[in-house]
Chain A
Amino acid sequence: MTPPDLSIVVPLFNEEESVRPLHAAITSAVEPLGISFEIVFVDDGSKDSTVALVDEIARHDPRVCLVKFRRNYGQTPAMAAGIAQASGEVIVTMDGDLQNDPKDIGELLRKIDEGHDIVVGWRHERQDKLVSRKIPSRIANRLIAKVTGVPIKDNGCSLKAYRAGLIKKIPLYSEMHRFIPAMASIAGPRIAEIKVRHHARQFGQSKYGLSRIYKVLLDMMVIKTVASFTARPMLWFGLLSVPMLLASALAFGWSVVNFITTDRLSLPIAGSGVIFLSSAIVLMASGAVGELVYRTGDVREQEFSGLTERIASVVSHHPVSFNS
């Protein structure tokens, strides 16, 4: 079997009502594009008849493949498994709940052809509840854009297209699927954002709520540090130790001045100076351990730098644009 041009990865979790219409929508939207494609459904431990339905579909459509989890692991592992399984040159991910419209896939692919490595959808007319979904999401997106430096208006939109060579190299774990573009920024990809359609939820329950905000914040911090400092742990921990060094210098300075002027050494102040100094040293040592971790790991920066090189030489005349 020759690898298809396009793989569409769809995580499913208890989506028995949506599966059939979704398959019909995808095939009717992608077939006219005249490219070979496959659909990789990932069943994230559904308790309903999702697996049986997909199996039935796969029986009649050899382009459909189902990756089945033994239990529910969450959306990021589902995405990661689907991406690992996909063999297409371009990988499109989307939600299984019919809120994304497969008709937008053509537009995503056109952007990829223009030379972008990642094309993300922007649900500019989002069909969700205002207070519990849209407003927190807008704040979160602003923050994510600010912190990670990847100005995307809608990180939560699952409809995205990637070059397979790039996305397969990006480590995906925990709950990082929302941050794939930020995570991918290690490789310096050309990112485009296009407006996509968004439909109100037809079936089933929304699987997210407000509770995820705290997790999103911490994950964001992880990505920021990991993406920008992975190869330089020493620098990163060195920065952390700067305030400690300053505090200890302050305390020592004060002690010395005190000692000279009043001939008395204040123990608590000198003591806290020692504490801060030792902390700075331990942080530096942590940085050294970090270097060790990086050396024994299998993530290499030069690996990422090569991911977008080739394309850059082909389409270097395309300016990087984040709005279309």
Chain B
Amino acid sequence: MTYVSSTGAPAPSRDLDVSVIVPVGRRHAADITALHAEYRDGLRKLGLTYEFIIVLDGANPQVAADLQRLLQKGEQLIVIGLTRRFGEATALMAGFQRASGRIIVTLPAYHQIQGEEVAKLVTAIGPTADLAIGRRWPRAGGRFEIARRNAFHRLIASVTGQRFNDLGCGARAMKRRVLEEIQLYGDQHRFLPVLANRQGFRVVEVDVRQSPQDRYDGGYPPKEYAHRVLDIFTVFFLVRFTKKPLRFFGMLGASTFVIGAVLVTWLAIDRLVFQHPLADRPALLLSSLLVVLGMQLFALGLLGELIIFTHARDIKDYQIDEVIRYPDKLPAALPQGGDLTYAGVRRPQNESSPAALDP
């Protein structure tokens, strides 16, 4: 097992239908062979060619031994071992580097959905859906748990304007392009649907049956809640203000500054006109703090704008679906038909150089 770096991976041949990526992190099924068999049987029903890529996110001798046994039995597996625990998003991207399928399926390393439901996700991908995300339904869970989930998704919806019902479900199927265009890092794998939707991909939710072993076992540590709240902030910034930092910081900063300035002015008038002593008033401290804070926030916004401006060529804020250009001479026979068959040069824009697009 080797660590596959993002640049060192061999260029995959694109002849498979489905690549399944399973990142194995801290939480994983006790018996990974059973899980693999379940997923594999679910996929086989489709009659498509597929590959399994299992990414070990950090050293895990027990799982590694299990996988070794699977490999010895002749199972077709690609196992990638990361040198340390990088997190799920990084593990997914590392697996994606090696994936050669047209459709990428990500599956959790523990029993979250029933194995045969994988097929449902894959078949959901089509002309009207670029990304199919699983929604465990019907779903077990106590009343408090359901309320907590609802609150989380409603918050996400109010921030992004997109209502999803189960962002915690790791079972997703997507076209290759989705992961080619969206670079996941940190904790963003959870928000892949939000980011994909923002890039103009069509996202559908597919009801999948929950695995009986995926049960909620009473309470998460407080750290988990703090993480979720921070996640919401992250998404908020990613979705709303990545391109316009000053719109956000400027608003916040300017209003704080104005409040502080008004307070200072009032204190000054009070002192100079009404002769009230200034020296013993903590309000002076408060108002100067507000002025300073407003200035600081505004400066942060400007710094953000500077970052955007100097890096604008790297962070494109649009994605081209395709460039349509017909060559000078049309081919003799024009295939007629649906809106997806065109005679001319019609290729997705993956190349960035305009010259490369000329027929």
Contacts and interface: CB of A to CB of B under 8 A. Distances in A.
A293 B244 contact: no
Given A69-B321, A73-B317, A279-B296, A62 B327 contact: yes
A247 B339 CA distance: 67
B100 to A, nearest CB: 24
Contacts of A294: 306, 310
Contacts of B314: 298
Nearest to B330: A59
Contacts of B284: 268-269, 271-272
Contact of A225 (B305, B343, B358): B305
Given A173-B312, A173-B317, A282-B296, A230 B285 contact: no
A85 B357 contact: yes
Instruction: List 3 A-B pairs, minimum CB-CB distance, nearest first.
Output: A297-B310, A70-B200, A71-B200
B146 interface: no
> A interface, by DSSP: helix, strand, loop or mixed?
helix
A129 to B, nearest CB: 27
Given A68-B321, A87-B355, A283-B295, A272 B302 contact: no
A75 to B, nearest CB: 11
A174 B243 contact: yes
Interface of A: 1, 45, 52, 54-55, 58-59, 62, 64-71, 73, 77-78, 80-81, 84-87, 171-174, 215, 218, 221-222, 225-226, 230, 233, 236-237, 240, 244, 247, 251, 258, 264, 266, 268-269, 271-272, 275-276, 278-279, 282-283, 286, 289-290, 293-294, 296-299
B30 interface: no
Nearest to B339: A52
A271 B311 CA distance: 40
Contact of A269 (B278, B319, B349): B278
A271 B284 CA distance: 9
A171 B343 CA distance: 35
B292 A275 contact: yes
17 contacts: A62-B326, A66-B325, A70-B321, A73-B317, A77-B317, A81-B320, A230-B309, A247-B291, A268-B285, A269-B278, A276-B292, A279-B296, A283-B299, A290-B306, A296-B310, A298-B311, A299-B310
B194 to A, nearest CB: 14
B342 A55 contact: yes
Interface string B313-351: 111011111111111101000000001001110000100
Contact of B288 (A55, A264, A276, A286): A276
Contacts of A71: 200
A167 to B, nearest CB: 13
A236 B299 CA distance: 10
B321 A171 contact: no
Interface string B258-299: 000000000000000000001111111100110110011001
